[in-house]
Structure 1
Amino acid sequence: MSDKILNSHDFQEALRKCSEETGIPFDKVEKEAAADLKEMAARPGRYSVAGWEAFSKWLARAYKLDVNDRELVELRKLNKDSSLVFLPNHRSYLDPLVLRSAMQPYGFPPNHVLGGVNLAIWPLADFGQKNGIVFIRREFKDDHVYRATLRAYLSYLIAQRSNLEWYIEGGRTRTGKLRPPRFGILSYVIDAYTEHPDNDVHIVPTSIIYDQQHEVSAISAEEAGGVKSPESLKWFYDFSKSQSRRLGRAHVRFGEPLSLKEAVKLTEDENGKPRPRLAVPKVAFEVANRINAVTPITPVALVTFALLDNEDRALTVGEGRDILGPILGYIEKRHLPMTDNVDLNDQGDMRKAVERLVSENVVEVYDGGVEPVFRIPRDRQHEAAFYRNTVVHFFVNRAIVEVAVLKAMDDGGDSEAITENTWQYAKRLKDLLKFEFFFPSTKDFATNVKDEVDLAFPGWEDKDLSAATVEKSFKDAKLHVAHRVIAPFLEAYTVLFKQLAAADPAMVVEQDALVTKCMDIGQQLWLQHLLHNPESISKDLFKNGLQLADNLGLLEPGDAELKEKRAAVAKELQGYVDKVSVIRHLARERSREFLATHETYGA
């Protein structure tokens, strides 16, 4: 295999070009390419594959598999005539093992899995390569020889009709929600497809989600400012040992496959010539949307959804039911995917989810009174938010509508003005949150907003809207989600932009230092009860806020006008945070009404 790749005409030409661009003699470039290929290439073997499958099941022993048989049967049929490229989300080091275990009973050949070379630790490196693992470097954009070698290897695999797998986020999610996709490997695969257009290739969006994860506590600690432990033999021993505790199920779902042939065809110019690089971002974001669409809502996600952002109050089981009842009604109306038909009675799946969270100390229970009450401790709120964030994408449009309607209500005016202003605020919130969530085109987003308004305020088009009628509708509503869905992101961005506004506009922004400063200030604001969400104190959120600032043209040095623009965005964000506080207050009032009619502690 190596000789075939190294001696191919196209690769030889690519290496000659590398030699010319770098000034390195061709024989040295060729030798470097051979070493790179040896480092990355998988070397599957029949006996080692059987051993790997047993190893996979042992390492992922904390979970029972939950798969959709119909999806896998249909994919196996598709695989007879087409190569498949599986692009899963990335939540755990176990993801490739879980996916392998899910596919193996259906007769799929092992995927060639592209993974980070940081995991090529002894003795897993050799074992992994013999089982289709392709270890690639994290950073290689300036290494022309390595790039050419990886491109040639992927082209070879596509030509051989091999199935591929890699994790499009480029790393495990730190917050629980899907991260923005990385384009690099996808661009190489699309290039490889254009070299072999007769070999049809389908991209398979893949969702892997766990009831709970052993890794989440470490991930959450890193996100709150901790240091990531390097991968090593000791790390692997500790990781494998932790999997002895059962944590429920691992759920694997597959979105509708995308044909690369069709995706590339859509990029043809007026002369019918394809422009495959234009397909890369479109395919990547479509994959992300399809992953989100099939990610099932778990009982643990719902429990953490209810227990977070309650002003640090403990809830009774009854209060939890009261919060989740309208949410489940919303899920049913929108036909959202779930892992179970959730039952809100004491012996149902929700109760089991609470018990698992209590056993892992994510939720604490006090049962010394009349009835048990549950809360999430301060030091586990990042961890709980990880589980909640696995499903927030389903509620983000509803959250945006809630805030947009309140802002439009403040502006006043007649029905037409309130409707138009609601749309303008919704568009603005979509733009501010575009580095956190995947949004559709403006046209499709407009449809989504209208659908959400229809659900939140039935018959609104036939009513004479005013500030008073909108306020009454809000107070009468049983479902309020903005404080549970978008508040952490808006609060984090507000902290960041206030620091940008306070900085000297002529100075270069030291991004790492600013993130560290925002972490410290966020902690202070939380201790002062000026920040509602401790999960807002997040390196990932502050870094995304910096991306937003850059996108708005507010990161590069400037003059006094730049300072004013930064301050204006900070003020705008604070305005949205204030509206979320109104929604939080309405939810709190509803909770008080529930307690008043279900009082037990005075019995």
Structure 2
Amino acid sequence: MTNRKGSSLVRPAAPDLEILGDRVTLHPSGYIEPPEKPQDGDRERTLMGSMARFRSSPLEFLREVSLHVSGTGWRAYDDFIGQPIFYPGFSEQMIAAVLSAPILQKRITELATKRIAVEQKEGLLDINDPLFDAKRTQRKAALEYSLHELCERMTGDMICKMESKPFIRGAYYFITQLLTRAYHQGIHVSSEEVLRLRAVAKKAAEKKQSIIFLPCHRSHVDYVSMQLICYRLGLALPTVVAGDNLNFPVVGSFLQHAGAMWIRRSFGGDMLYTTLVQSYIDTLLQGGYNFECFIEGGRSRTGKLLSPKFGILSFVLDSILSGRVDDAIICPVSTQYDKVIETEGYVTELLGTPKRKENLADFLSASSVLSLKLGRIDVRFHEPWSLKQFVQEQQLRATGVPANIDTKEVDDRTMRHKLLRTLGYKVLSDINAVSVVMPTALIGTVLLTLRGRGVGMAELIRRVEWLSERVRAKGGRVAHFGNSPTSVVIERGLEVLGKDLVGTVEGLPEPCYYAVDRFQLSFYRNMTIHLFISEALVCASIYTRVKRGGGRDNQRISYEELRHQVQFLSQLFRGEFIYPTEGLEVNLDNTLRRFEADRILDLVRDSEGNITAVDLSDAERAAGRENFDFYCFLIWPFVEAFWLGAVALIGFTPPTGYQGDTWLDVKKCQDSAQLLGKTLYHQGDLSYFEAVNKETLKNSWSRFEAEGMIVISKSQNGKIPPKMKLSEDWAPRRDNATSHIVPKGRLWDFTEKIAQSRIEGKNRRDGATVSTRVLRLTDTIGETLYLEAMDDANMDEDDKAPLKRKQKSGSKMQARAQL
């Protein structure tokens, strides 16, 4: 995207490779780096001809199909970098290697021994029998054989079976035909990053080390695009960790032979299965086979990075820490889309509709989506790094003594957990560092951070260019399209988003654009929020004074008051966002100084140069607070969601005289919170409908649980749903005369603390509105939950036991509340 007159020039970065079917095209860089010198105007260069379509050119289409079937040229996939996979018997050899793993054999023996002890205790084996030793040995051998057969069957169901090169060639052609119909501008990668990755892959192959690709996860297209890139650019295809929910007829077998390994969504404490998965991962890493899993676990339904999931990552780390695997190479990967196919379905799920189980009918019906023009996919690879070296650096930081991996030290559970968390958040940080902000994300962000119903094209161009500059100033990357002017790029982005997301009012002096589906459009806005989270927290904290109105002195906030509110919000959203690593004080001061340089804030200093107070600058006031409001608009939906989560907790206060169990069904509580949010939104007491999305509400309650505000218990019986209750120290009291909840106390003050940073709206300044209508509404919903809980009170004492234990342990956690 070109810069307007007078703006900074840009430095050329490495050119992009566009992969579109059989065509690979060299482009100018797909992102703009911080300014230094003018672009040199790299020209596009087509390396291979485009893929033919049957309807337009049937003979050429048939010729290309024959080239893929016969494996001509690069299509043969004979000269890839990595360990050999495609040969008959590969699956059988992999199964044999997994089953012979010492840790699995040890687990089988351990489980058989435990079962023998149970049978002996139950009298099935008589210790007084003269043949006891022989029978015991025979029974143990039978148990071990049975467990071995079970492991063999589970391994065959789990492992990927990439053993047919003709199948892979055909799969590549078939998937490329489908994907390039939807993403008609292909897959873009950085040539520099690809060359670097190939160099690392060559060294890894020589050392028989695996490359572990850790991508973000926004779409099912993520792993498809990754496989296509590796195939087209000559890298060994990775084995991809996939949930067995995708293992349905026809599609499941296809994916397994194309690289998927199936694992259960939950292991449920199954020690044998856990060890089996560890054995398979050990076998892959010991053999130097490339590996891929999603650092976030499931797909992000909100557009922003989710907190890391440590399941598969813990297996990988254990392989290194135990010494069973010498080293592996970590490669964080960012995948960005002009438009994500599944966003409409995500909105439905976030609003409370249960996720449908994957099936073949839905998969086939997706063909209609493939006819859409969804733009392009941008995939970026962070510089790969050694996992073993990472562990050693963390040990050096902890002990101050350089050494090889100390297996005794890392056996400590606390140390392992800390190491795992550091690893997970480092990968997320690396993904953010290489992510490219797409035009659709810029447009979505601008449309959702402007006051008013819509925006004209001239203003939209101005704000998109301003946002692009802000992204680059924060070290981010902005996608662009050669030397196309901003207006052309915006028009293209609007076309990709479509009329269902962005509407147009014609017949005016200039077209006016407005958000049609703000909920779905927020998915694209959330792709930029990680860059500005520090600025958003600071502005939302300053807003506690700005919203008071009046003169400048009335809106000025002291540094201490600002720091306190920023700290509160930072703690509140600790599980929601990834913060810079410098710490609160440094981040706050750096952010304030950037705002001062951008003429958004004025900083009042004492004689020693220390910041004592902050207020809006004259320039920002003259501009109608447009930049300050932008940062507030970014985080206000999340402030609203956490405020809603806290208000919903107030409604879980037991009714006066209630004699039943005060544990409530977690899912019913979450559903009631969504119902409360929808009601408050339509009544005007909630400004953002996206605040009712269940993922953010779940995150808020996870935060509240960590601080001891609520206690959640999961029963040993899987058929009994999780239960929750308010901690006694946080539960509000009721008025003895009216039985209404009294708007006072710890939870009320906490909720009001969040409310200070909320956007003004209907009756927002009138605290009585919340203490009367909102409280009575949430109380009514809470009463319904307690009535339902009384109907469930017939559970037996064994089922109630875990809840009672959790209640006792919960009282110990209450002192931990920091918010």
TM-score, normalization by structure 1: 0.88
Matched, 1:475 2:475: no
Match of 1:81 among 203, 211, 217: 203
1:343 and 1:371 mapped to 2: Cα distance? 24
2:303 and 2:524 mapped to 1: Cα distance? 6
Q: Which residue of 2 aligns with 1:514?
A: 669
Q: Which residue of 1 aligns with 2:527?
A: 390
Q: Which residue of 2 aligns with 1:491?
A: 640
Q: Which residue of 2 aligns with 1:191?
A: 318
2:475 and 2:419 mapped to 1: Cα distance? 30
Match of 1:449 among 564, 570, 588: 588
Change (3 A) 1:568 1:448: same
Q: Which residue of 1 aligns with 2:251?
A: 124
Q: How does 1:81-120 map to 2 (within 5 A)?
A: 81-82=203-204, 83-120=210-247
Match of 2:439 among 294, 299, 313: 299
Q: Which residue of 1 aligns with 2:111?
A: 18
1:413 and 1:202 mapped to 2: Cα distance? 56
**How far did 1:146 drift?**
0.9
Matched residue type, 1:5:
V
Q: Which residue of 2 aligns with 1:590?
A: none
Contact 2:219–2:341 (CA under 8 A) maintained in structure 1: no
Match of 1:558 among 706, 719, 727: 727
Gaps of 5+ in 1: 583-603
Q: Which residue of 2 aligns with 1:174?
A: 301
1:343 and 1:216 mapped to 2: Cα distance? 30
Change (3 A) 1:148 1:198: closer
Greater CA drift, 170-179 or 446-455: 446-455
Q: Which residue of 2 aligns with 1:30?
A: 148
**How far did 1:482 drift?**
3.1
Greater CA drift, 9-18 or 280-289: 9-18
2:639 and 2:626 mapped to 1: Cα distance? 23
2:560 and 2:114 mapped to 1: Cα distance? 55
Matched residue type, 2:455:
L
Greater CA drift, 463-472 or 112-121: 463-472
Q: Which residue of 1 aligns with 2:267?
A: 140
Q: Which residue of 2 aligns with 1:527?
A: 682
2:391 and 2:300 mapped to 1: Cα distance? 29
2:103 and 2:485 mapped to 1: Cα distance? 64
Q: Which residue of 1 aligns with 2:697?
A: 542
Aligned-residue CA RMSD (Å): 3.0
Q: Which digits, 9 at most, give the CA deviation of each residue in 1:437-490, with x for residues without a partner? A: 11244x344333323212212385675677685464652455122332111111
1:236 and 1:498 mapped to 2: Cα distance? 40
Q: Which digits, 9 at most, give the CA deviation of each residue in 1:18-76, with x for residues without a partner? A: 33456693333222211111110112122222122223312322121110111111111
Q: How does 1:366-385 map to 2 (within 5 A)?
A: 366-377=505-516, 380-385=517-522
Contact 1:87–1:205 (CA under 8 A) maintained in structure 2: yes
Change (3 A) 1:572 1:232: same
Q: Secondary structure at the residue paired with 2:235?
A: coil
Greater CA drift, 125-134 or 530-539: 125-134
Change (3 A) 1:265 1:142: same
Q: Which residue of 2 aligns with 1:259?
A: 386
1:205 and 1:374 mapped to 2: Cα distance? 36
Q: Which residue of 2 aligns with 1:569?
A: 750
Contact 2:245–2:358 (CA under 8 A) maintained in structure 1: yes
2:634 and 2:161 mapped to 1: Cα distance? 45
Q: Which residue of 2 aligns with 1:51?
A: 170
Q: Which residue of 2 aligns with 1:591?
A: none
Matched residue type, 1:479:
N
1:90 and 1:79 mapped to 2: Cα distance? 23
Match of 2:191 among 45, 49, 69: 69
Change (3 A) 1:243 1:330: same
**How far did 1:353 drift?**
0.8
Q: Which digits, 9 at most, give the CA deviation of each residue in 1:136-176, with x for residues without a partner? A: 11111411111111100100001001110011211111111
Q: Secondary structure at the residue paired with 2:758?
A: helix
**How far did 1:388 drift?**
1.1
Matched residue type, 1:47:
P
**How far did 1:12 drift?**
0.6
Matched residue type, 1:292:
N
Change (3 A) 1:10 1:331: closer
Q: Secondary structure at the residue paired with 2:203?
A: coil
Contact 1:57–1:97 (CA under 8 A) maintained in structure 2: no
Change (3 A) 1:69 1:298: same
Contact 1:494–1:570 (CA under 8 A) maintained in structure 2: yes
Change (3 A) 1:463 1:100: same
Q: Which has the higher contact order (CA 8 A, sep 6+)?
A: 1
Contact 2:604–2:614 (CA under 8 A) maintained in structure 1: no
Contact 2:603–2:614 (CA under 8 A) maintained in structure 1: no
Contact 2:442–2:468 (CA under 8 A) maintained in structure 1: no
Q: Which digits, 9 at most, give the CA deviation of each residue in 1:270-300, with x for residues without a partner? A: 5952444242111111101111221111111
Q: Which residue of 2 aligns with 1:595?
A: none
Q: Which residue of 1 aligns with 2:346?
A: 219
Q: Secondary structure at the residue paired with 2:510?
A: coil
Q: Which digits, 9 at most, give the CA deviation of each residue in 1:355-391, with x for residues without a partner? A: 32234x21111203333211122xx222101111111
Q: Secondary structure at the residue paired with 1:135?
A: strand
When Rg is computed on C-alpha atoms for both structures, the one with the higher figure is 2
Q: Which digits, 9 at most, give the CA deviation of each residue in 1:191-219, with x for residues without a partner? A: 12234566431111111111012211111
1:579 and 1:184 mapped to 2: Cα distance? 41
Q: Which digits, 9 at most, give the CA deviation of each residue in 1:295-338, with x for residues without a partner? A: 11111111111112556612211332343343233223223211
Q: Secondary structure at the residue paired with 1:168?
A: coil
Matched residue type, 1:421:
E
Greater CA drift, 204-213 or 421-430: 421-430
1:237 and 1:410 mapped to 2: Cα distance? 52
Q: Secondary structure at the residue paired with 1:173?
A: coil
1:342 and 1:18 mapped to 2: Cα distance? 62
Matched, 1:7 2:100: yes
1:104 and 1:581 mapped to 2: Cα distance? 56
Match of 1:432 among 553, 569, 572: 572
Q: Secondary structure at the residue paired with 2:176?
A: helix
Q: Which digits, 9 at most, give the CA deviation of each residue in 1:205-252, with x for residues without a partner? A: 111111012211111121122232321111110123411222100010
1:579 and 1:382 mapped to 2: Cα distance? 20
Q: Which residue of 2 aligns with 1:362?
A: 501
Gaps of 5+ in 2: 1-92, 120-142, 205-209, 411-415, 655-660, 712-725, 733-744, 764-819
Change (3 A) 1:389 1:310: same
Higher helix share: 1
Contact 1:298–1:339 (CA under 8 A) maintained in structure 2: yes
Match of 1:404 among 541, 562, 578: 541
Matched residue type, 1:4:
A
Percentage of matched positions with identical amino acids: 24
Change (3 A) 1:490 1:544: same
